[in-house]
């Protein structure tokens, strides 16, 4: 890494707060009730799967329903009583997926002799409050909120601490992306229970009034432009070509056949769905632009954006030639393993199992997204909350509350936050909504210039850039300090 990046990184870490410095579908997604099931039997990391009874509603005295919340446990490295509890705040997906993609926790557990806990988020994976009826209607799905999830985690922590061997255990929360938001929020809301948090790629500011709505799209586009200047421009050009060629039935058939779509394009709605899918794919590629092969959102090669853009270097491409080149580029994401028989444009993250996220994004997780086609490589789409709200009411019979997250947790006024590390990679589109300035003496921001989405929480790899190695070193130092401080006060 160049010296100027190292200096910038150190400057941003230690500076005081005063000196530091049509993607709605991306979050709405597709309401998928039967996601693809992964096989974890041959997984790298091993754990015991347990469940705990949880109230469906933590904040009501009239709803007495309970459900089984799933969590994963590994106590291999626990040597004595009251070990640190490293607690992963599960996010929108099967908890086993996140356990297998958070190698940093596994790597430092022996050093701290820690107990590892990975808690599944309600309404994801197998933690379904109403079983097969959990997504049936708002009466069943209405308990899917971050507030309820945090209360689940606190109950689980309190249950663990009720055992004599963990009664005085310090708790350190870990999380990436939405899980990172939860790890930051659980420390803010429950500082008497959680002693510190590593919040990686946590866009806790990605809400109305806190971040420009085009920030995500701009960073995605910069990633593609950095791979090849012609790449972003050709993608920008491709939207109009798709529109033109699908304006006729013959063109729809050509695109459906040549792109090997599972369901052929029949009307304008199908074309818009295809475009929304492509937007998701480009965003996911930027998020998972890791320096080695990985299978988080999809099986991908090292630096997949570079591989994608290797198909989009000829600036003279037009018409069907351009669309064939785009197909080859997109295949890096959709069919890197060569096992895909046809392209399903209804779900861009089948491995994540995030079927409940559309509901959350229609209630409390309202993250404004827009594009202008000038500063980014996408078709222009303005952010229209009224239209967004109508879509949510039509789909779920709920009205979004765009200010709820900031009212519950704070967005602009976070100076009272303590013992949190906010880490963000500058290659990660979500960094635009992340905390990149120190909030207080102990709530600090770490910038990873070559980092993609929560790269620092992944397992170490020989291809890791120096900045992520350095970030993990800072994480260890802060965790050590939090545990030491806790021990002094007990």
Question: Cβ distance 421 to 444 under 8 Å?
Answer: yes
- 132, β-bridge pairs: none
Q: How far apart are CA 349 and CA 284, in angstroms?
A: 8
Give 34: exposed, middle or buried? Use CB within 10 Å, 0-12, 13-18, 19+. Answer: exposed
Question: Cβ distance 383 to 226 under 8 Å?
Answer: no
Q: How far apart are CA 383 and CA 24, in angstroms?
A: 8
Q: How far apart are CA 234 and CA 308, in angstroms?
A: 12
The single residue of 140, 381, 453, 454 carrying the catalytic annotation is 453
Using alpha carbons only, give the angle 195, 198, 204 rounded to the nearest 5 degrees.
105
């765009």: which residue's tokens?
A: 402
Q: How far apart are the first and last CA of the chain?
A: 42
Q: How far apart are CA 196 and CA 189, in angstroms?
A: 12
- Torsion angle in degrees (nearest 10) through CA of 18, 20, 23, 29: -90
| Annotation marks residue 344 as catalytic | no
The single residue of 134, 146, 169, 177 carrying the catalytic annotation is 177
| Annotation marks residue 177 as catalytic | yes
β-pairing, 171-176 with 85-89? parallel
Q: How far apart are CA 371 and CA 384, in angstroms?
A: 12
The single residue of 57, 280, 376, 428 carrying the catalytic annotation is 428
Beta strands in 13-126 (DSSP E): 48-55, 66-74, 85-89, 115-119
| Annotation marks residue 423 as catalytic | no
**In 299-442, which ranges are continuous DSSP H helix?**
304-309, 319-334, 357-361, 385-396, 404-409
Enter the tokens of residue 61: 């005295």
Q: How far apart are CA 29 and CA 35, in angstroms?
A: 13
Q: How far apart are CA 197 and CA 186, in angstroms?
A: 8
What region does 458 belong to: left with phi over 0, alpha with psi -120 to 50, or beta?
beta
- How far, CA to CA in Å, does 313 sit from each of 194, 225, 378? 49, 11, 18
Number of other CB atoms surrounding residue 488 within 10 Å: 7
3-state secondary structure of 185: helix
Q: How far apart are CA 34 and CA 353, in angstroms?
A: 8
**Active-site positions?**
177, 428, 453
């Amino acid at each position: 890494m160049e010296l100027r990046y190292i200096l910038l990184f150190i400057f941003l870490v230690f500076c005081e707060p005063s000196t530091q410095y049509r993607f709605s579908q991306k979050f709405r997604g597709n309401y998928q009730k039967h996601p693809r099931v992964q096989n974890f039997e041959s997984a790298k990391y091993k754990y015991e799967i347990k469940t705990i009874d949880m109230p469906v509603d933590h904040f009501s005295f009239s709803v007495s329903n309970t459900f089984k919340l799933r969590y994963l446990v590994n106590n291999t490295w626990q040597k004595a009583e009251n070990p640190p509890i490293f607690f992963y705040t599960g996010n929108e997906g099967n908890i086993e997926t996140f356990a297998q993609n958070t190698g940093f926790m596994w790597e430092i557990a022996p050093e701290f002799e820690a107990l590892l806990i990975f808690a599944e988020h309600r309404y994801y994976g197998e933690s379904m409050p109403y079983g097969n009826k959990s997504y049936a209607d708002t009466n069943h799905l209405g308990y899917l909120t971050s507030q309820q999830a945090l209360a689940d985690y606190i109950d689980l922590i309190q249950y663990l601490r009720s055992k004599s061997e963990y009664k005085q255990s310090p708790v350190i929360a870990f999380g990436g992306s939405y899980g990172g938001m939860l790890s930051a929020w659980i420390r803010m809301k429950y500082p008497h229970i959680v002693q510190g948090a590593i919040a990686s790629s946590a866009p806790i500011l990605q809400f109305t009034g806190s971040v420009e709505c085009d920030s995500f799209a701009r960073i995605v586009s910069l990633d593609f432009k950095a791979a090849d200047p012609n790449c972003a421009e050709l993608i920008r050009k491709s939207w109009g070509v798709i529109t033109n060629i699908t304006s006729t039935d013959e063109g729809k058939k050509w695109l459906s056949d040549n792109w090997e779509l599972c369901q052929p394009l029949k009307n304008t709605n199908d074309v818009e769905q295809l475009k929304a899918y492509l937007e998701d794919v480009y965003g996911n590629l930027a998020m998972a632009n890791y320096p080695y092969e990985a299978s988080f959102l999809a099986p991908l090669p090292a630096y997949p954006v570079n591989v994608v853009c290797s198909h989009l270097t000829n600036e003279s491409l037009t018409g069907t030639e351009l669309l064939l080149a785009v197909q080859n580029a997109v295949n890096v994401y959709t069919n890197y393993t060569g096992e895909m028989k046809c392209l399903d444009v209804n779900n861009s993250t089948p491995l994540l199992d995030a079927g409940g996220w559309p509901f959350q994004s229609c209630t409390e997780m309202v993250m404004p997204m827009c594009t202008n086609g000038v500063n980014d490589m996408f078709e222009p789409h303005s952010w229209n909350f009224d239209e967004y709200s109508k879509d949510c009411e039509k789909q779920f019979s709920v009205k979004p509350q765009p200010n709820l997250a900031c009212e519950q947790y704070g967005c602009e006024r976070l100076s009272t936050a303590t013992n949190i590390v906010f880490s963000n990679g500058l290659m990660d589109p979500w960094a635009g909504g992340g905390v990149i300035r120190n909030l207080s003496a102990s709530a600090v921001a770490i910038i990873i210039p070559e980092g993609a989405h929560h790269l620092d929480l992944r397992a170490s790899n020989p291809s890791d850039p120096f900045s992520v190695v350095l970030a993990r070193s800072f994480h260890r130092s802060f965790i050590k300090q939090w545990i030491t401080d806790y021990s002094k006060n007990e």
